């Protein structure tokens, strides 16, 4: 069973070098478009904040995604979690995520996002 959303949001924020706590709120930027996002101190997403699984959960265990999932303990590994705005997360879900890891463009986008997350990982 997946961890509760608030706990996963906390994992993503705790390991994000751009995340800051101000007045009991946690602030960071969307992994995709860099929009300002806010999460409550208990991990409750506020406004447009959503949890982004960079490598989609459905890609784990698929041979075409083996290079993307190597070194991750699973979809909820903090290195695979980020905060994204709802617009960007939904676009990714309808585009690259839906195309699957065998699609060259989808694979390229997820690889770039993993690199961006790695640069922000503490």
Domain presence at residue 122? no
**Quick check: 122 and 20 in contact, CB under 8 A?**
no
pLDDT of residue 3: 72
Domain presence at residue 10? yes
Domain presence at residue 24? yes
Task: For strands 25-29 and 20-22, give the pairing.
Answer: antiparallel
Task: For strands 45-46 and 49-53, give the pairing.
Answer: unpaired
- How many independent structural domains does the chain possess? 1
Report helix, strand or coil for 121. strand
Domain presence at residue 48? yes
Provide the residue range defining the domain that includes 95. Answer: 5-117
Q: What is the pLDDT of residues 54-78, one digit of tens each?
A: 999 999 999 999 999 999 999 999 9
pLDDT of residue 2: 59
- pLDDT under 70: residue ranges of the chain: 1-2
Instruction: Characterize 56-81 residue by residue with b for buried, 16 or more Cβ atoms within 10 angstroms of its Cβ, and e for exposed.
Output: beebbeeeebeebbeebeebbbbbbb
């Amino acid at each position: 069973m997946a961890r509760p959303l608030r706990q996963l949001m906390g994992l993503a924020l705790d390991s994000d070098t751009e995340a800051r706590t101000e007045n009991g709120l946690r602030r960071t930027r969307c992994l995709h478009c860099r929009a300002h996002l806010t999460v409550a101190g208990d991990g409750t997403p506020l406004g447009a904040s959503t949890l982004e699984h960079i490598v989609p959960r459905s890609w784990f265990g698929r041979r075409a995604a083996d290079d993307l999932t190597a070194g991750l303990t699973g979809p909820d590994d903090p290195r695979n979690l980020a905060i994204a705005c709802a617009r960007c997360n939904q676009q990714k879900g309808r585009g690259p995520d839906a195309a699957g890891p065998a699609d060259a463009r989808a694979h390229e986008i997820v690889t770039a996002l993993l690199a961006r997350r790695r640069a922000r990982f503490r």
